[in-house]
Amino acid sequence: MSWEYNPYYSPEKLGLKIVGVVEKEPDYDFDMFVVWESEDGTIYMASDSGCSCPSPFEDYHSIEQLERIGSYDQFARALDSWREYVYNLSGGPSSVDSLRRKVRRRLDKA
């Protein structure tokens, strides 16, 4: 596996920074929803899950593999869909609400 271009562990190599992460409480596995922002202000999202063997986003190596967020509604639908499968979020609902606010602020600036 190449860590060099992993958007979670090395986002700066792809010209990205992590805006926020919401994840299920770890239990020898991971289930994550992540939002990134590029240097030009474009916002991206992706989710990944796995057992303890793979690493988060190990199959992601380019910005093209992330989904560009074009509207708040698109983002909210994706986050809500992801949440249907996740029942025990670390940080509780406030982590979800915080991510929603961060994305809305960034989209309002665009």
Kindly state whether residue 1 falls inside one of the protein's structural domains. no
Kindly state whether residue 2 falls inside one of the protein's structural domains. no
Domain count, the chain: 1
Kindly state whether residue 3 falls inside one of the protein's structural domains. no
Q: Tell me the pLDDT tens digit for each residue of 39-53.
A: 999 999 999 988 888
Question: In a 3-state reduction of DSSP, which class is residue 13?
Answer: helix
- Domain around 29: 11-109
Q: Tell me the pLDDT tens digit for each residue of 44-93.
A: 999 998 888 888 999 999 999 999 999 999 999 999 888 876 665 655 66
Kindly state whether residue 68 falls inside one of the protein's structural domains. yes
Measuring CA to CA, which residue among 74, 82, 64, 107 is closest to residue 95? 82
What is this structure's pTM? 0.88
Contacts of 52 by beta carbon, 8 Å cutoff, 6+ apart:
28, 29
